[in-house]
Structure formats: C-alpha cells, structure tokens
Structure 1
Amino acid sequence: MNPEPTRLLRDAFGCFMTGVTVVTTIDETGAPRGFTANSFSSVSLDPPLLLISISNRSANLSAYTSGRGFAVNVLSEGQKAISNVFARPSEDRFTSVDWQAGPYGSPVIAGGSAWFDCSLERAIEAGDHTILIGRVEDFDASTAPGLGYCRGAYVTPAAAALSAEHGPRVVLAAIVEHEGRVLLLDDGAGGVKLPEMRVGQGGARGAFDRLIAETGTDATPGLVYAIYDDTERGLQFIVHLCPAATDAHKAGAFVALTEAAMTDTTDPAQQVMLRRFAAEYRQGNYGQYVGSHVAGEIRPFAKG
C-alpha cells in the first residue's frame, strides 16, 4: 500500500479540533469499560442516532459490539485528567472517576458537558476500526464548556479565545538533511539548534519559505516528523524532514550526528528528536512524534 495517502489523512485530521469524549459500556461480567475517543458524530435526528468508532485492536471490542449499548460522555474543559485516564491502559479506569449508571445502563461520568445513553443499533467493520451506531435512549447537558483536542494537545474555549486574541504561537522547525548530515545553527547560548521560524500572518508556507531562505539551502519540505507542544514556553512546534540536494548553505553548518553534536543541542526536545532521527536514518524507516516536549507517542510510517 502506498503510505502517502495514509500520512496525508493522518496529518490532515490532526489539524482539526475535535471534542473529547469517553465512551463507556458494561461488559458481560457487569464490569464498567471505557475509552477516550474523538470520533463522535451525529447520524440521524429521526430516529436519534449517533456514532463513535473503536479500534479493532481494543481488548474491549467485544464488550461494545455484543453489549446492550454504550454511553458517550462529552468531557468538560476541567476533565483533562479523566481523558488521560481513559486513554491509557489500566486494569480499572473507573476507580478514580465519579460515575453512575445511566437510564439505559451504561456508565455516565459526573461533571461533563453532556452525555448520551444509547442502545446499540449496529456495529460496522470499517478498516482498522469498528463503527458503533447508537440510538439515543436518554441524554442530558450542562452549561460546562467542552474540552477540545487539536494538533496533539487539549484545547479549551478560554485557551482558544486567548490564542485568537494574541495570534498564533506556532513554530516551524526543519531537519535539513544531506547525506545523513543535518544543518544546525548557533543558538546564541553556546550550543546549536535546528533552523526554526515563528508562523505569522503569512501562514505556515510563508514561514517555511523564510526559514529556507535564511539558511540558504536548497531543501524542500518533506514529512511532518514531529508535532509537539512546549508547555513551558507556550509554543507548538511542527518539525519537517527537509532533504537537501546539496550541502550549499549560508547559515550554520551541516553536521554529522555524532554524540558530541547531539550533546551540543541545548534544547532537550530537539536533542531527543535528533537522537531518534539518527537511529531512524540508519534503519531507513521514520516515525511521526506527537505529544509534548516531555512525553508523547511515535506513529511509524514507511520512508517515502
């Protein structure tokens, strides 16, 4: 299979903000089950139907596909911790959560923006996920603002309003590579860093063009290698792999990724990223990192 459409879809979907939900059910033993999902959508008003999707690799798949129904809990902006609990493997995700059985029987989490208790209308296999269509049997909503998710980070209405007021805080960075060597610049503090450029009114493309122009290289934008939030500085970084046809440059130097060179990289997140790139370059396979400057996940894709 050509990996390019898959990569493009993944990157495109990561650019949109989605609501964060926890989908719950009761398994055949009577135990509560749940997972964090942002694939929640309305299907029909008459009858009232909605859908979510669950990975076919989920250990709880059978509980949802053969159970009586499920509940969609729309989390509020203060429930990031609950989202994280249900997004990670755990023996019992419900021990630290205030919940009760909904009118139709599935667990309803307290303090959310809304909940929908549904009977299972249909389960449809679709690629590597199964779509669950539920008929809404009962629901409730509160005035609590909802929790969103965009580009690997949580978004709240307050944060979104602040971002809109003060402009984007997105930084493009580039791993400009030629024959295994990477362009590194003086960071002004005794170390080195990747070329980077703050996104302004010209948008991401304008920022990237300025970045390449300042380095004086013939690099071209390639795979999105990392998307992460630096929560300490309030910045979001989008890092591209940028192959260069030659080693021409007017700033910095192309450096072999030795241990000494990577140790000189003063930004800890960039240092970890360059160590990963050095290993993946040798293997010929790359992954995309999504998360924060301290923790996240790597999603592999084939070298394009």
Structure 2
Amino acid sequence: MSDPRALRDAFGAFLTGVTVVTTFSDDGAPIGFTANSFTSVSLDPPLLLVCLAKTSRNYQTLTAAKGFAVNILSEDQKEVSNTFARPVEDRFAAVKWQHGPFGSPVFSDVAAWFDCSAHDRVDAGDHIVLIGRVEAFKNTGKTGLGYARGGYFTPALTEKDLLANVDGSLSVGAVAERAGQILLVPDAHGGWTLPFVDKAQSEGLDVLEPQFAAEIGLTIQTGLLYSIYEDTKVGRQHIVYRAVLGEGVPKIGQLFPVQQLPLDKILDSAVCETVKRYAQESALGNFGIYFGNQDKGRVHAVAKKGDL
C-alpha cells in the first residue's frame, strides 16, 4: 500500500467545507470536534453522514449517542474550527451555542446546522461512518468556510482580489432571493432590473452590503458569485452575487416569484439572461458562474443548491 501520509495529502486535494460535530456525553457535558468528512446522503429520508476516526477520544461517546449535530461553519469562523480541532479544555466557551430541537448542541452564526438522530453506523477501516437522520435544520444563507491542502479558503478572499484589480468602473449587483422570490427594481427606462450599486476602486466587500441595504431598505446578505461580465458598449464591469434578502417590505422595487419573472420588461439583455438562468438553475438545484460580456460567455457549474 502507498504511504498513508501521501494518500492523505492526495485526499486533501478535494475542496471541502468545514464542520463541527457535536453531542453530549453521558454526564451531560457538550463535546465536539472539527470534521470535513461530511456529506449529504438522502433527501427521503433526510440523511447525512460524517466519518469519525476510531482513535478519536470522542469515539465511544459518538457511537453510543442517541444523536449528534453537524454545524457547517461560516467563512468568518476559522477560529472556531481551530478551537475544536485542538485539545482545548473548554471548547464551547469559544462559541455561542444552544440545545437543538432534537437535543444536540447547535452553534450560532454558522452557515447551517443539522440536528440528527442516530440512524446507522458503518464500520469503515480505521474510521466509522456515522449516518444521521435530520430531525431539524437551519440554513442561515451565510457562505461556508472552505478547506483544501491543509489550509482554509473563503470565496471572499478571492473576490477581494478580484474586486481590487478591476480596471475602470464597476457595478455590483445581487440576485436577492427570499422565500422563492427575487427582488427587481425599476430601471431608468420604465422596466425592471436587478439592484446594483457602484463600487469605488478603493472600496472593499465590506461596504457593499450596507450600500445595498441603504438603497433597498432591507438587509441583504451576499453569498457566492453568480455572474461576471463586461458591458463592452459602455466599458463597464459587472459582478453579480447570489444573496439572501432580509424580512420586510423593500423601499424600492418589487418581489417576483422566481418562476414568474417579468422577463419581457427586463430591458437590459445581460440582466434578463442572468435572471432567466437563475430561474432555470433554481428549478434544477444547480448553480454556476457566468464569465463573459453582455452578449457571449460561458457558465461554469460550480455550486449545488441541494435541499436548502
């Protein structure tokens, strides 16, 4: 067999998210550990799995527990991941948490959490596969923390570089969705368009959400990139994000069901194609990123919506 370390490094080429798996010990103390060996398994019934090393000090507790929770860390929770990966005395002092509906500890400010009952356990060499049945979950809309080759990455890091190096003027837009509806705002010609804000060259990502919120009158949480294109007619770059829209009535614009968009009244062809693609991809559950100009480009399928 090949060198185990070399094999581990090869496995590390796969880009994953970062989770913290939690439960309670027999004496009622919360326990948890960082894991990236997580995946969804089934929608019906709702199942997921995590892998646990048999050498883990949590092995006996997890294999005997009635259930466990999986907390998918958000992109600003790298320190939470590090805390639960180290032998810290009181790991839970570093994070806000509460009892989940089924009873396991669930974290605040994560991208999502799943509170599970123990469904099955499968022996797998030096690990055991814990299959959980999802009894309750919460999806916050935040972007998850990534991990590959022994290091963390976040979409925001690469996007900061992207935004910092754009030449010329830049408009940043959002396909902002809430409960199956997206926000469209009036354009200058009596039609509809996506909400856009202008970004000064010196500004970073941290100013975009407040700008959107001030214009729309609602909170907006930007997620993954969705479209990058140049309008060659006016020499202007456009970057569009997928986003989650907060509760309330927008100060401007109107919410339209994703599958009933007024495409004939979206006069900008690039915006029209963007929202049309969003509607199609929402129905399929798979999202990509468009690169090109207002007329021609390519969609790279890189993200899966799944069951959230």
Instruction: Tell me the TM-score normalized by structure 2.
Output: 0.51
1:129/1:165 CA distance change after superposition, 3 Å: farther
- The separation in 2 between residues aligned to 1:29 and 1:18, in whole angstroms, is 33
Which amino acid in 2 is paired with 1:76?
A: S
Residues in 1 aligned to 2:14 and 2:75: alpha-carbon distance in whole angstroms? 17
1:78 to 73, 76, 79: 76
Q: 1:153 maps to which residue?
A: 151
- SS of residue paired to 2:82: helix
Please give the per-residue CA displacement for 1:59-78, whole angstroms capped at 9, x wherever unaligned.
11111111110000000011
89 and 7 in structure 1: CA distance in 2 versus 1, 3 angstrom threshold: closer
**Structure 1 segments unaligned to the other structure (5+ residues):** 168-304
Match for 2:28 among 24, 27, 30?
Answer: 30
Backbone CA RMSD of aligned residues = 1.9
**Structure 2 matches for 1:118-267, cutoff 5 A?**
118-161=116-159
Aligned partner of 1:3 in structure 2 is 2
Identity of paired residues, percent?
58
**Partner residue, 1:201:** none
- Give the match's secondary structure for 2:71: strand
Residue type matched to 2:97 in 1? W
In the alignment, residue 83 of structure 1 is paired with which amino acid?
A: S
**Per the alignment, in what secondary structure is the counterpart of residue 94 of structure 2?**
coil
The residue aligned with 2:86 is 88
Report the Cα distance in structure 2 between the residues aligned to 1:136 and 1:43, rounded to whole angstroms.
Answer: 11
Spell out, residue by residue over 1:74-103, the C-alpha distance to the aligned partner (whole angstroms, 9 max, x if none).
Answer: 000110110000000122211221100000
CA distance in 2, matches of 1:161, 1:10: 29
Once residues 57 and 8 of structure 2 are traced to their aligned partners in structure 1, the CA distance between those partners, rounded to angstroms, is 23
Cα 1:166–1:131 shift into 2, 3 Å: farther
1:7 deviation in Å?
A: 4.7
Matched AA of 1:119: S
TM-score normalised to the size of structure 1? 0.52
**What SS does the aligned partner of 1:83 have?**
helix
The 1:136/1:65 distance shift into structure 2, 3 A limit, reads: same
Q: How many residues align?
A: 165
Matched letter for residue 3 of structure 1: S
Residue of structure 2 equivalent to 1:185? none
**1:165 offset after TM fit, Å?**
8.2
5 Å-filtered alignment, 1:43-58, equals 43-58=41-56
Q: Which residue of 1 aligns with 2:194?
A: none
Question: Which amino acid letter does the alignment assign opposite residue 135 of structure 2?
Answer: E
Give the match's secondary structure for 2:92: coil
- Partners of 1:65 and 1:108 in 2: how far apart? 19
Alignment gaps of 5+ in structure 2: 166-308
CA distance in structure 2 between the aligned counterparts of 1:139 and 1:14, rounded to whole angstroms: 28
Aligned partner of 2:283 in structure 1 is none
